[in-house]
Structure 1
Amino acid sequence: MEAPVLHPPAAKPKSIGKTGVLIVNLGTPDSPSVPDVRKYLREFLMDGRVIDVPFVSRFLLVNGIIAPFRAPKSAKVYKQLWTETGSPLKYYGEVVERELQRSLGDDYVVKLAMRYQSPSIQAGLDAFQRLGLTELVVVPFFPQYASASTGSVYEKVMDIVKAWQVIPEIRFVNRFADHPKFIEGFAQLGRKYMAQHDYDHFLFSYHGLPESQIRKGDITKSVCQFGECCGSLHALNQHCYRAQCFETTRRLVRALGIPEGKYTTSFQSRLGSDPWIKPYTDEVIPELVAKGAKRVLAFSPAFVADCLETTIEVGEEYKELFEKAGGQHWQLVESLNDSPIWIETLVDLVKTA
């Protein structure tokens, strides 16, 4: 009887094309000049997911009031933020683009894009279309999902690729605020400052959103109460931005060993007279000082790159508010920027999206 023929295990099919990786941050003006800042504000605020009112009302509000009057003030602040390498948000994005490309290797093509201004999502996708990609992975640089940030990136990408004759498989990263390496990245930065000083309170300040947007995202129309509903993250509130922020704080608190009663979660950068999610950071700070907090370590875990909202708002404006109220030592924890653990986080997100 003939011996059976043994065949080696079939090799894993090799991809015939590359994987495109589009990393997307919010955006920044091309320069701190008033015209460029005004141009940026107009594109940003005309997004229907950012200011979700009817088009005509939004057009009149943005072009008749906000952009003309806010641009000169914002330009002055952007000049404070600008460095020799330009906007920190864009600079760190370019570094991350190179480092992530190096870490992922030749089977991937990494492109940086901004939701608003340059480099644009359109330019990045145009470059990918010419490559004959096997698949596309889109990584919005927003740890917590929100319609005005991650949702807007999704919408823009889909609006562009819907016109393609051949659409590759597309995978989106929805959120990563609970990714162990993301948490550890901020924890490492926090430990650095905790080793240098004793802090009596820890503030976790997140970008704010209008309460109306949170309500619109409540699929149950009953869970969101802007209170105890954010005490845990579960199936019914997993896409609630506020609930995700509180969950981020809880994970960082555990990683850093911060005792109960020694930390606060708050929200910044509100615009207009409508109620935004609370508590407001600029109201929390004097209250903390009044309760005896003289040394505060401040985190901004809604941002992965230093920008206006971290360096200027939290790092300088809130420091001034804190000291004016009687505080003694205020320290901002910088963003992940181009740190090795942030690159490791992105590699994991790309490969497991």
Structure 2
Amino acid sequence: MTTQPLATPASSQGQALGKTGVLIVNLGTPDSPSVPDVRKYLREFLMDARVIDIPPLSRWMLVNLIIAPFRAPKSAKIYREVWTEAGSPLKVYGYAVEELLQKTLGDDYVVKLAMRYQSPSIEDSLMAFQKLGLSKLTVVPFFPQYASATTGSIYEEVMRVLKSWQIMPEMRFINSFLDHPGFIEGFVRLGQKYMQQRPYDHYVFSYHGLPERQIRKGDVTGQQCQLGSCCDSLHARNQHCYRAQCFETTRRLVKELNIPEGKYTTCFQSRLGKEPWIQPYTEELVKELPKKGVKSVLAFSPAFVADCLETTIEVGEEYKELFEELGGEHWQLVESLNDSAIWVDTLADLVQKA
């Protein structure tokens, strides 16, 4: 793995006629686990109107007077737990994938990593592409399921930068990839590794949560979203609904893993604030499982393609501790795709078919 940006390939210096730029984008990470850097990251992240979709003044006061000052020290402590000698895992895996994907795609492509928040920024990566005069640009947000707060925010930032360009390359955006066979197979292989070691009483598929209001706002028909049985299948009317896509992801994984009905649950983590977020909540599920006699759990986080604070700490440690405190005996987190060969091959296929 490398923790530094890759130099532009020699073959792409100067004339890049016919080449395609590939911008791979993850959410972001602080530059260091220090409190000032974490506070800076939180401010940029949470001031995004697609993340906290309330009036600007209310958002500014909430973020700058309450969340950033008080949450930064606690978050910095947690970031120090996941930080490695090479840096933030999210960025370490990102640069590793950048290098591997460049090798897989070959000289007809130029691959660059960006983060929606902090560095390397989308703007810096796009400006580097502009200097190369690339013919095409493919943007790949690292989010299997579409949400306005993640993929939508990346689209908006890309277009903010590009709107001032006199010459725009032909562009393609990868909207989601939960149905890509390689993505599903990657998590299936990881899950099977643990399922071969021991039996599990229950399987938890935990996804990052969103406020219910954001799901309802995404229902352009105003008639489809019920935040319930409407997510029992994925179809034309709910194809862009984040909650429906999460349930569809679980159905695909369960089918390939041969998990019987009644032995698994789709749930949502990382609630913030008192207003309703999409349910069921992972934390509440974890509290209920031991009461039902569940002693062992295999937990997946299929909304993330790289391990980070939300997977390693929240699902892998905090829920594990809660489960065991309440009588559970074994909780195992399935790691993310990270820099695995199947993930790199999946990305290459997504780019080439775009």
TM-score by length of 1: 0.95
**One-letter code of the match for 2:69?**
P
Q: Identify the residue that residue 75 of structure 1 maps to in structure 2.
A: 76
Q: Identify the residue that residue 211 of structure 1 maps to in structure 2.
A: 212
> For 1:125-161, what per-residue CA distance to the aligned partner results, in whole angstroms no more than 9, with x for missing partners?
0000001111000000000000000000000000100
Q: Identify the residue that residue 189 of structure 1 maps to in structure 2.
A: 190
- Whether contact under 8 Å (1:219, 1:236) holds in the other structure is no
Q: Identify the residue that residue 255 of structure 2 maps to in structure 1.
A: 254
Q: Identify the residue that residue 135 of structure 1 maps to in structure 2.
A: 136
Q: Identify the residue that residue 164 of structure 2 maps to in structure 1.
A: 163
Q: Identify the residue that residue 151 of structure 1 maps to in structure 2.
A: 152
- Whether contact under 8 Å (2:17, 2:133) holds in the other structure is no
Structure 1: distance between partners of 2:149 and 2:179 = 20
Matching of residues 48-63 of structure 1 within 5 Å: 48-63=49-64
Structure 2: distance between partners of 1:126 and 1:244 = 33
SS in 1 for 2:214: helix
1:286 is displaced (CA, Å) by 1.7
Q: Identify the residue that residue 110 of structure 1 maps to in structure 2.
A: 111
Q: Identify the residue that residue 306 of structure 1 maps to in structure 2.
A: 307
SS in 2 for 1:130: helix
Q: Identify the residue that residue 23 of structure 1 maps to in structure 2.
A: 24
> For 1:204-231, what per-residue CA distance to the aligned partner results, in whole angstroms no more than 9, with x for missing partners?
0000000000000001111111110000
- Whether contact under 8 Å (1:81, 1:312) holds in the other structure is yes
Q: After the TM superposition, which parts of structure 1 deviate over 4 Å for at least 4 consecutive aligned residues?
A: none
Structure 1: distance between partners of 2:177 and 2:65 = 37
- Whether contact under 8 Å (2:29, 2:41) holds in the other structure is yes
User: Does structure 1 residue 320 correspond to structure 2 residue 321?
Assistant: yes
1:104 is displaced (CA, Å) by 0.2
SS in 2 for 1:25: strand
1:17 is displaced (CA, Å) by 2.3
User: Does structure 1 residue 284 correspond to structure 2 residue 300?
Assistant: no
- Whether contact under 8 Å (1:17, 1:132) holds in the other structure is no
**One-letter code of the match for 1:199?**
Y
Structure 1: distance between partners of 2:286 and 2:172 = 40
> For 1:191-212, what per-residue CA distance to the aligned partner results, in whole angstroms no more than 9, with x for missing partners?
0000111101000000000000
Structure 2: distance between partners of 1:67 and 1:286 = 29
Structure 2: distance between partners of 1:73 and 1:222 = 41
**One-letter code of the match for 2:258?**
G
Matching of residues 82-97 of structure 1 within 5 Å: 82-97=83-98
> For 1:161-190, what per-residue CA distance to the aligned partner results, in whole angstroms no more than 9, with x for missing partners?
010000011100000011111000000000
Q: Structure 1: any 5+ residue segments left out of the alignment?
A: 1-14
Q: Identify the residue that residue 10 of structure 1 maps to in structure 2.
A: none
Q: Identify the residue that residue 239 of structure 1 maps to in structure 2.
A: 240
**One-letter code of the match for 1:105?**
G
Comparing 308-317 and 15-24, the one that deviates more: 15-24
Q: Identify the residue that residue 179 of structure 2 maps to in structure 1.
A: 178
**One-letter code of the match for 1:162?**
K
Q: Identify the residue that residue 99 of structure 1 maps to in structure 2.
A: 100
Structure 1: distance between partners of 2:211 and 2:149 = 10
Paired-residue identity, %: 75
SS in 2 for 1:206: strand
Aligned residues: 339
User: Does structure 1 residue 222 correspond to structure 2 residue 228?
Assistant: no
1:16 is displaced (CA, Å) by 3.5
1:296 is displaced (CA, Å) by 0.2
Q: Identify the residue that residue 333 of structure 2 maps to in structure 1.
A: 332
1:63 is displaced (CA, Å) by 0.3
- Whether contact under 8 Å (1:50, 1:148) holds in the other structure is yes
Structure 2: distance between partners of 1:313 and 1:138 = 29
